[in-house]
Amino acid sequence: MSPLFLFLSFLALLSALGVVIAKNPVHSVLFLILTFFALSGHYLILNAQFLAAVNIIVYAGAIMVLFLFVIMFLNLNAETEPKKPMLAQIAAVIAGGSLLLVLVAALRNVEPVGYDAATFDSQIGMVDRLGLVLYDQYLLPFELASILFLAAMVGAVMLGKRETGERNF
């Protein structure tokens, strides 16, 4: 394990914990952004430059901006946070604990698979290679996913459409 990997993992786990622990929702969002950066660093180590960049653009750059936007609008803070019932807290702890247990059990005996330096394809994960796989091997799933996005967009436009005679400003 390289020191870079250890550092990124440390950062990812620490900031992910920060998301959960932070009292202020804005701090939570900022920690989440930091988590995405750490994950992008992991993608870079895995030689997936395109995925790293897209992760930053889509998640850190767009979705999190909208998150932050909504949270700022709602002006959430520690006082307005609803008190959660004890039962829900206990249930969440048990559910999370069992997930941890399953993950640890599943990943406990995983051995890192080494690559043979002589046969390793250094171009794997690059944009052009990814594009070829996506548009060649997985064309149908790709197109289906884009139809899903189109449906979501049409739905959003329908919801946001102004009724006749309505004036919002």
Partner 1 sequence: MLELPALGWQSIVIFVVFALSLLIATYCTYAERVIAAFLQDRVGPDRAGPYGLLQPLADAVKMFTKEEFFPQNANTALFIFGPCLAMITALMSSAVIPFGNVLSFGSNYFFLQGIEVNIGMLWVFGVVSLGVYGIMIGGWASNNKFSLLGAIRAASQNISYELAMGMSLIAVLMISGTLSLRDITLQQSVAGEWHFWNIVKQPLGFIIFLVCAFAETNRTPFDLPECETELVGGYHTEYSSMKLGLYLFSEYVNIFVASAVMSVLYFGGFNFPFQYELRDWLVSNQDWTLAGAQNLITILGTVLLFGKIFGFIFFFMWVRWTLPRFRYDQLMRLGWTILIPLSIFNILLTGGLITFGIIQ
Query: In degrees, to the nearest 5, what angle opens at C-alpha 106 toward C-alphas 104 and 110?
Result: 95
Question: Taking CB under 8 A as the rule, which mask of x and - marks residues 22-41 in contact with partner 1?
Answer: ----x---x--x--------
Task: Return the number of the residue (8 or 60) whose C-beta is nearest partner 1.
Answer: 60
Smallest Cα–Cα separation from 43: which of 52, 35, 34? 52
* Smallest separation, CB 62 to partner 1 (Å): 6
Footprint on residues 131-160 left by partner 1 (CB under 8 A): none
Footprint on residues 53-92 left by partner 1 (CB under 8 A): 53-54, 56-57, 60-62, 65-66, 68-69, 72-73
- Residue 49 interacts with partner 1 (CB under 8 A): yes or no: yes
Smallest Cα–Cα separation from 61: which of 86, 32, 81? 32
* Smallest separation, CB 64 to partner 1 (Å): 8
| CB-CB neighbours of 133 under 10 Å | 13
Rounded distance, CA 53 to CA 50, Å?
A: 5
Q: Is the dihedral of CA 117, 122, 124, 125 positive or negative?
A: positive
Rounded distance, CA 9 to CA 151, Å?
A: 36
* Smallest separation, CB 144 to partner 1 (Å): 21
Q: Which of 11, 16, 22, 50 binds partner 1 (CB under 8 A)?
A: 50
What residue type is assigned to position 150 of the chain? L
- Residue 11 interacts with partner 1 (CB under 8 A): yes or no: no
Q: Check if the beta carbon of residue 142 is closer than 8 Å to that of residue 134.
A: yes
Q: Which of 16, 19, 126, 142 binds partner 1 (CB under 8 A)?
A: 126
Contact residues for partner 1, defined by CB under 8 A: 26, 30, 33, 49-50, 52-54, 56-57, 60-62, 65-66, 68-69, 72-73, 126-127, 169
